[in-house]
A and B are shown apart, each in its own frame.
Chain A
Amino acid sequence: MSLASTAQSSPRRTRLFDFLQPGARAAFTAIAVTAVVVLFLAPIIILVVTSLRPGWGVYYIYRGTEFTLANYVEVFQRSVVVEAFINSFLLSTVATILSLGVTVTSGYMLSRFKGWLPKTWFTSIYVFRTVPYISWVLPLYIVNESLGLYDTFFGILAAHVAVHVCFFSWIMKGFFDGIDPSMEYAAMIDGCTRWGAFRRVALPAAGPAIAALGILSWLWTWNEFLFALILTGNRTPLLTVTMAQFVTELGTEWNLMSAMAVMAMIPAVIITLFAQKYVIQGLRI
């Protein structure tokens, strides 16, 4: 599209966008950009503003100048909120490390080998990725309950590692596909074992991509709701469910809920601002 400007010298029929040329084209871009920014930023700004309003002021969001940080103080005086933040942080970190560790070799295998085994494994991954989460988390609840794992850290951790097996194997395969295997062959000729070639050559080369996926994985676990709703209760409060309970328990205390939502949003904002390059790399399919 940007090349259209080079075509201006060539003769052509008058078209709809032609009368926008060339100064108005910038105006069109400006309007479109503004629309996009408003669409994606406005709800976030509304949330932030609400979180800074005193309890009686949230209902008049479009007027008034009263701002306060009291909501944040009040939210963090509740022990369940603090506990939820700590639990979610630990869960995201441990689940990310474990799921990356479990799937990295699987992705490598899918990328480097051919034959019936990789083919079968890839098909199973594809099939299991289509299974809706609730279809296996629902019975996992029964399993956890009978094993005494319901509402424990390990119970929810297992679900979070399991959910990533299929997708991460698939994505990691893509990472290793982008790395030339000839270095590994060279390493093996020089006396490296197969495992050594993977660990010393392929793994470092895929490092940045894996880190990018790790960032996304951390954030997905942080934001996850369904597993937390089904597999945890009062003993292991997690961020998202605690936040959702704010609504039902307290009815209309939107200022407190917004304060918690803004706090929960901070990792996402930090990552978006400072690790954008990695995030976009990790999103590649």
Chain B
Amino acid sequence: MPTVAADRQPASRGAIPATRRRSRLIGERLNFQIGLILPSVLVLLLFQVVPIFIGTDASFRRWTLYDPDKTWVGLEHYRYVLSDTNFLFTVLPNTFLLMVGSVGLSLALGMAVALLLHRGFAAQRLVQTVVLLPLMIGPVIASTMMRWTFNDQFGVVNAFLGWLGLGQPAWLADRWYAFGVIVFTDVWIWTPWFGLLLLAGLKSLPKEPFEAAALDAAGRWRTFTHITVPMLRPVIGVCVVIRAIDCFRTFDQVWLLTGGGPARSTEVFSIYVYMEAFQNLNFARGSAAAVIGTLIIMVAGLALYALINRFMDVSR
């Protein structure tokens, strides 16, 4: 055998006679690994990493029609975004409020749905099908139907409230009512996701602890809080982290339900970036906001990940 590619690995295993053969094998192995991930890496580099660099570069420049040279302005856009009261006191609180509200409520409701489906009853498959539907039809159609359901003049919700003799609020014209509808829509879409994953978790739990609890005459609530929840912690943790991180980039629901209105009061992070870039036509400022948001969610995501890791360790 010729000694091709033998030097690629450091000669740390020099003492072993079969070095050459072995390191060739390792080299081959590495090449195989690189070959396997190459398509993914290329796609990721070309269509995500490169754009992110271009966007970051743009965020330091003046990006308007009257400035074709795209003059370097340093941190000007960052200074603008970070001193924008709308961004600081409306957009960011909205984003995190949506995250907490949506994840918390859909976790609670999803747990209820999972427990219900786990009971076993007639027509269970039918109910499971119904529960799966919101997740499948997606945010766009869901938001459209919610917008119609909560229509202030002709919507079913207000018709029902009128029939009950209650007030009929203009749902999408008031900041907190509109925000409530957004949270409700998001919960409507994502409860099934929590429900199905938690149901799978419930099904995989061992039976013995429940039998032991039943013998010890533990009530339902105690069985739930002391056995079901602790044993489901890993599933709950993973679900919450994934959903919370994804919730940060919510766009469709807000855009289609309120468009960020009334008066930009229900804007969340993605909507703010979009508005700056395409509505106010300041691409650089939008990019700066996008970079800031990315950094925020990365830090929050890592913190959340660490927190959940600890939370899950405690249960073991």
Q: Taking A103-B40, A117-B33 as contacts, is the C-beta distance between A46 and B149 under 8 angstroms?
A: yes
Which residues of chain B (192-212) have a CB below 8 Å from chain A?
Answer: 192-193, 196-197, 200, 207, 210-211
Q: Could you tell me the distance in whole angstroms from the C-beta of A191 to the nearest C-beta in chain B? A: 16
- How far apart are the CA atoms of A32 and B54 in the complex, in Å? 52
A contact residues around B29 at 8 Å (CB):
113, 194
Q: Could you tell me the distance in whole angstroms from the C-beta of B307 to the nearest C-beta in chain A? A: 15
The answer to whether A243 has its CB under 8 Å from any CB of chain B is yes
Which residues of chain B (91-112) have a CB below 8 Å from chain A?
Answer: 112
CB nearest to A172 among chain B residues: B40
The answer to whether B37 has its CB under 8 Å from any CB of chain A is yes
The answer to whether B242 has its CB under 8 Å from any CB of chain A is yes
Total chain B interface residues with beta-carbon distance under 8 A: 102
Q: Mark B67-95, 1 if CB is under 8 A from A, else 0.
A: 00000000000000000000000000000
Quick check: which of B9-17, B130-138, B170-178, B308-316 contacts chain A, the rest being far away? B130-138
Quick check: which of A2-10, A75-83, A179-187, A203-211 contacts chain B, the rest being far away? A2-10
The answer to whether A234 has its CB under 8 Å from any CB of chain B is no
Flag if A273 contacts B252 (CB, 8 Å). no
Q: Taking A105-B37, A261-B145, A264-B141 as contacts, is the C-beta distance between A6 and B55 under 8 angstroms?
A: no
- How far apart are the CA atoms of A12 and B213 in the complex, in Å? 12
- Interface size range on A against B: 35 or more
CB nearest to A222 among chain B residues: B138
Which residues of chain A (89-111) have a CB below 8 Å from chain B?
Answer: 101-103, 105-106, 108-109
Flag if B133 contacts A225 (CB, 8 Å). no
CB nearest to B235 among chain A residues: A285
CB nearest to B252 among chain A residues: A225
A contact residues around B293 at 8 Å (CB):
132, 134-135
The answer to whether B260 has its CB under 8 Å from any CB of chain A is no
Flag if B270 contacts A132 (CB, 8 Å). yes
The answer to whether A212 has its CB under 8 Å from any CB of chain B is no
Q: A3-B214, A46-B145, A128-B44 are in contact. List 7 more A-B contacts (CB 8 A).
A: A7-B217, A129-B245, A130-B297, A131-B297, A136-B55, A139-B58, A222-B138
14 A-B residue pairings within 8 Å (CB atoms): A15-B219, A15-B221, A16-B221, A17-B220, A37-B127, A105-B36, A140-B51, A142-B54, A162-B46, A165-B48, A223-B139, A268-B136, A269-B133, A273-B129
